[in-house]
Structure 1
Amino acid sequence: MPVRVKSNQCIPKNVANGASANLFHIDWRPGTTFEQKQDNVFVASEPPTNLYVDIHNNPTPTRFTRNPMQWPASVMPIVQSKVSFKLNKEAISIKGFPIVPAFGITVHGMQGDTRDEIVVTDLRPPHCRTVDHHALYVSLSRVRLAPVYIGSVATRRPRL
């Protein structure tokens, strides 16, 4: 599953906030059970202990020494984070893994990334759509020489 890393995890390996990856492996506590809900969704009885992601375009071949040898060098563990805040005089703490699903991404989230192909679409109602030239430039400059899909029309990357 494609994911986006939401915190600086390993600066020497260029894994910072916004890095693209694929969820590679999940470690579960012994005895964790899974209950099937509707639509073939399974819910774990315990949270995962470790998550590992395969980083896209990882420029450093250095592998993490505790990873199994058969795993690619681009696989790295994700460190859990804890956020604490006060709400109505109550202290609240949330512990979790700083990744989010990334089946799609905004133009602003694409800055600094390069993709093999992109689809540019405007999800606003037709009467609200306007062309933001800056956003369109960022979109087109983030793709390699593959086709760019704008709406339902395929075109080759224009020279910018």
Structure 2
Amino acid sequence: MLVPQFLSATRRTLPIILRRNIGICAPALQKASDPIQQLFIDKVKEYRQKSSSLGGKLVDVNPEIEKELASELDKLAKQYGGGEGTDMTQFPNFKFTEQPLQESNHATLSLPYPGTPNDYRERIRQLDCSRPQPDTEKYYCIITFYHIIRQARRIRL
């Protein structure tokens, strides 16, 4: 029962697949019929042979091109941190040193004093958290707000 369905599906799709593949592969498999295209292919092959015989260096180099190449490489070396005796083909070695930790004032801060909500409101007015403040004051504001909320939940204002 499944075999006839499979065969009919294959009969429908196989010609489409073959037509698409032939349409794509045929130009790639053809030889160069255009004389300009053939000349280009010949020059690419000739350049590959010359380059491989020179060890991958530039082909047909004159002193002017060598000077220009050297100046461009020097310019790149200066731009990216190279200099005399620096091998620009090697990946740089990074050395990271541990920075000493600085003591923070946050550890010396005391937590807000226990008190009534009115005391907290007064302390918030004194801090005036709406204006820009140093980091320790911001930290103190956050801690104060946190304790006000905790206190209010306990007292249930």
The reply to whether TM is greater than 0.5 is no
Larger Rg: 2
Higher helix share: 2
Question: Could you tell me the TM-score, scaled by structure 1's length?
Answer: 0.15
Question: Could you tell me the TM-score, scaled by structure 2's length?
Answer: 0.15
The higher-RCO structure (CA 8 Å, 6+ apart) is 1
